[in-house]
């Protein structure tokens, strides 16, 4: 398993479990030490080019997760603060006073229910 402080291990072959752990760290946004992160893409590309078939797939998955994380990090922040303008529907737009009282609303609701029956 890769030790977080040892970037020299990136020059050796990464195991699939190492790549899975790195992929999980990228996907979940865990902090990856800068010295490890600097050489990681090159090591993964080397595995994709020269590794065993299963290792190639694992390395490609990690590279795709890293690319997706970079794309999400580059997105502009979403606008959080916003206001809603609520518009209440009126059954009869010509006479909004017809539905302004509770008794008129109950009567309008009863009329709609009667039409549904």
Q: Is 89 among the domain residues?
A: no
Q: Is 35 among the domain residues?
A: yes
71 vs 46, 64, 66, 74, 75, CA distance in Å?
Answer: 22, 10, 9, 5, 7
Confidence of residue 4 (pLDDT cuts 50, 70, 90): very low
Q: Is 14 among the domain residues?
A: yes
Mean predicted confidence (pLDDT) in 38-43:
87
Q: How many domains does the chain have?
A: 1
Structural domain including 37 reads: 7-74
Query: pTM for the whole thing?
Result: 0.53
Q: Is 109 among the domain residues?
A: no
Q: Is 95 among the domain residues?
A: no
Q: State pLDDT tens for residues 43-80.
A: 889 999 988 899 899 999 999 998 888 888 887 777 66
Distance CA 76, CA 62 (A): 24
């Amino acid at each position: 398993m890769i030790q977080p402080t040892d970037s020299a291990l990136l020059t050796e072959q990464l195991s699939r479990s190492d790549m899975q752990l790195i992929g999980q760290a990228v996907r979940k946004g865990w902090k990856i030490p800068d010295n490890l992160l600097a050489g990681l893409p090159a090591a993964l590309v080397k595995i994709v080019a020269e590794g065993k078939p299963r290792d190639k797939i694992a390395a490609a998955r990690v590279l795709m997760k890293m690319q997706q994380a970079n794309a999400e990090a580059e997105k502009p922040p979403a606008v959080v603060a916003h206001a809603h303008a609520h518009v209440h529907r009126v059954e009869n737009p010509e006479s909004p006073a017809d539905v302004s009282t509770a008794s008129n609303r109950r009567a309008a609701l009863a009329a709609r229910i009667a039409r549904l029956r």
